[in-house]
Amino acid sequence: MIDIKNLVISTPSQEIVHGVDLHIDKAERVGLIGASGSGKSLIVQAILGILPPSMSVQGEIFVNSRNVLQMSDTERASMRGTVMSAVFQNPMTALNPMVTVEKNIELPLKMHYSLSRDERHSRVEEALTHVGLEREIMSRYPSQISGGQAQRVAIAEALIGHPQVLIADEPTTALDSIVQQGIINLLVQRTEHQGAAVLFTSHDFSVISRVAQRCYVINNGEIVEEGDLESIINSPHHDYTVQLIEAARDIAISGNDTVDSSRGE
Amino acid sequence: MALIELRNVRKVFPTTQTPALDNVSVTVHEGERVAVVGQSGSGKTTLLNIALGFTSATSGAVQTADPHTTGLVFQNPITSLDPRWKVCDIVREGKSGSSYEEVREALENVSLDPDVVMDRYISDISGGQAQRVAIARALISEPKLLVADEPVSAVDVLGKQYIIDTFQHAHEERGLAMLIVLHDLGVAQKLSDTIVVMHEGKIVEHGDTQQVLTHPEHSYTKKLIEAARW
């Protein structure tokens, strides 16, 4: 589905991402994990073709066997929403504040499909149900809903055009813990239902472990470890991976800490 | 002695009917670490603003924190630090007349290398580093109490660890008391002796942190614990 080969991203003064290889199969959920500044978001931006103009990029990014780095802006735009979609960290800045929730969600349908207004309306209604939101929210503006609701709206918009891959760049970091859990469950459930692949970035192994089947660990612009999620968590090879796992474990509440939680452990 | 005391506090904002805080009582004693946990909109930040005297209570008794002996840290370091100042000047602001050596030490205490960051601007360092600068500014005057609103939620896991270590160290070394607002119970477990669980403006559970985490009574507390698990 996505095949990245020897990706190098640089500013005019220095190289930031150093020869990254990354592969995502059809309908596979892949994690990209690293601390702030490790280069995760730049890789995401390179795939989507939205890197800042000051950045230069080399290497190859194949999406469905076509190199997106050699496409025109128009060609790339035709892929967004249908072949690939994205959700970002801050849903409030990802939605258009000047139009209603309905207008935000229907945008990919307007751009890529010739549907009547009524058809679009009923598709948006359906999409809202899928992300667990009430129909009444359609006529509200992004500023009139909560952060968690806004992220659900962003997911509805990202998935309404049935993309083959959803790229989620730290989509839960700005949300509180209970809302985070709901968003993660929703992402996994909806992409599984639609048969879409996922690239999910995070700094937190406890979050990645709820989403990804396989993951890449990135440190200072280099992939330092790659593999099946379970085996990386159980037997990490690189010191940096160990550090990330320990930090996440240290902060999380482990199964043995509570005797009568709702899960009954 | 209590550093902060709120008794039966109620807060109703003019634009809404439902109270933002309803019959809330919280005390922070010297050397005590209190975590206030709950989701967005539960009333945590309103409680903090009343405890600091930034907002007044609609009814109830309030002993606010003494600004001379209280350090403050907010969620977003980028908006709480002056972009036109160098790191060393930002930290120095926390204690007027502080020496060059004191500023260096305050930065070392938050695991930042003074030689690297002293002369930088906030735009030249990461969000996690900026939050540590904000903490260095809050702690340079060795306050009795630290009041912090979600100090680690905008920071990655490695940055969180540094900050948790700094707070734990200051508590163990000099008995720093804390009132910290958090949504993550995993972090609360590390940083508090007493926990206050808030839901829709009310305290639903209040007690010894370990006791509450191992024997939660309220279903909402159980949900928060579940969300912080790995």
Domain ranges in chain A?
25-39+72-240
* Cβ A102 vs Cβ A113: under 8 Å: no
The answer to whether B123 faces chain A, any CB pair under 8 Å, is no
How many whole angstroms separate alpha carbon B162 and alpha carbon B152? 10
* DSSP-derived secondary structure letter, B167: H
Identify which of A148, A206, A258 has the shortest CB distance to residue B214.
Answer: A258
Alpha-helix runs per DSSP H in B28-126 = 44-51, 77-80, 87-92, 100-109, 114-117
Question: For residue A81, what are the contacts with CB-CB under 8 A and spacing of at least 6?
Answer: A107, A108, A111, A112, A158, A160, A161, A163
How many whole angstroms separate alpha carbon B44 and alpha carbon B54? 14
Among A residues 193-252, those touching chain B with beta carbons less than 8 Å apart = 203-206, 209, 243-244, 247-252
The answer to whether B213 faces chain A, any CB pair under 8 Å, is yes
Domain boundary among B107, B123, B142: B142
Interchain proximity A146–B187, CB inside 8 Å: no
* Residue B158 sits in the same domain as residue B83: no
| Of B167 and B1, more confident | B167
Measured in whole angstroms, the distance separating CA A257 from the mean position of its chain's CA atoms is 31
B161-209 pLDDT, tens digit per residue, is 999 999 999 999 999 999 999 999 999 999 999 999 999 999 999 999 9
Mean pLDDT, chain B, whole residue set: 94
pLDDT of residue A256: 57
Containing domain of residue B90, as a range? Answer: 71-142
* Residue B55 sits in the same domain as residue B155: yes
Closest A-chain CA to B39: A176
Identify which of A179, A251, A259 has the shortest CB distance to residue B190.
Answer: A251
The answer to whether A74 faces chain B, any CB pair under 8 Å, is no
CATH number assigned to the domain comprising residue B61: 3.40.50.300
Q: Count of residues for chain B?
A: 230
| Chain A: closest CA distance from residue B158 (Å) | 6
Q: Which of B143, B136, B144, B73 is nearest to B105 (CA)?
A: B136
| Chain B: closest CA distance from residue A254 (Å) | 6
* Residue B61 sits in the same domain as residue B154: yes
The answer to whether A41 faces chain B, any CB pair under 8 Å, is no
Give CA separation, B189 vs A197, A259, B177, B216, in Å.
36, 15, 15, 13
- Structural domain count of chain B: 2
* Cβ A142 vs Cβ A101: under 8 Å: yes
pTM for the whole structure: 0.88
Which residues of B fall within a CB distance of 8 Å from A209? 230
Interchain proximity B190–A250, CB inside 8 Å: yes
How many whole angstroms separate alpha carbon B161 and alpha carbon A248? 9
Report residue A8: phi and psi, to 5°: -120, 125
Q: What token pair was written down for B175?
A: 């008995």
Identify which of B128, B184, B190 has the shortest CB distance to residue A177.
Answer: B184
pLDDT band at A190 (very low <50, low <70, confident <90, very high): very high
How many whole angstroms separate alpha carbon A46 and alpha carbon A67? 12
Q: Which of B157, B228, B155, B163 is nearest to B195 (CA)?
A: B228
How many whole angstroms separate alpha carbon A4 and alpha carbon B35? 45
List, in sequence order, every beta strand (DSSP E) within chain A.
Answer: 2-10, 15-24, 29-33, 56-63, 66-67, 84-87, 165-169, 197-202, 214-219, 222-228
Q: Is the pLDDT of residue A263 over 80?
A: no
* Residue B132 sits in the same domain as residue B160: no
Q: Which of B151, B117, B118, B150 is nearest to B134 (CA)?
A: B151
* Cβ A251 vs Cβ B187: under 8 Å: yes
* DSSP-derived secondary structure letter, A195: T
Closest B-chain CA to A185: B227
Closest B-chain CA to A252: B186
* Residue B51 sits in the same domain as residue B78: no
* Residue B50 sits in the same domain as residue B163: yes
Domain boundary among B142, B160, B178: B142
Report residue B181: phi and psi, to 5°: -95, 130
pLDDT of residue B126: 85
B100-156 pLDDT, tens digit per residue, is 999 999 999 999 999 999 999 999 888 889 999 999 999 999 999 999 999 998 889
Express as a percent the part of chain A with pLDDT over 70.
96
Which residues of A fall within a CB distance of 8 Å from B213? 253, 257-258
Domain boundary among B94, B118, B142: B142
* Residue B174 sits in the same domain as residue B194: yes
Q: Is the pLDDT of residue B158 over 50?
A: yes
In three-state secondary structure terms, A54 is coil
In three-state secondary structure terms, B45 is helix
B8-45 pLDDT, tens digit per residue, is 999 999 888 889 999 999 999 999 999 999 988 899 99
For the question of an ipTM over 0.95, the answer is no
How many whole angstroms separate alpha carbon B189 and alpha carbon B185? 6
Identify which of B41, B154, B183 has the shortest CB distance to residue A177.
Answer: B183
* Residue B49 sits in the same domain as residue B151: yes
* Residue B177 sits in the same domain as residue B209: yes
* Residue B55 sits in the same domain as residue B163: yes
CATH of segment(s) A25-39+72-240: 3.40.50.300
Identify which of A35, A148, A209 has the shortest CB distance to residue B156.
Answer: A35
A129-161 pLDDT, tens digit per residue, is 999 999 999 999 999 998 889 999 999 999 999
In three-state secondary structure terms, A34 is coil
* Residue B88 sits in the same domain as residue B154: no
Q: Provide mean pLDDT across the span A35-64.
A: 94
* Residue B135 sits in the same domain as residue B186: no
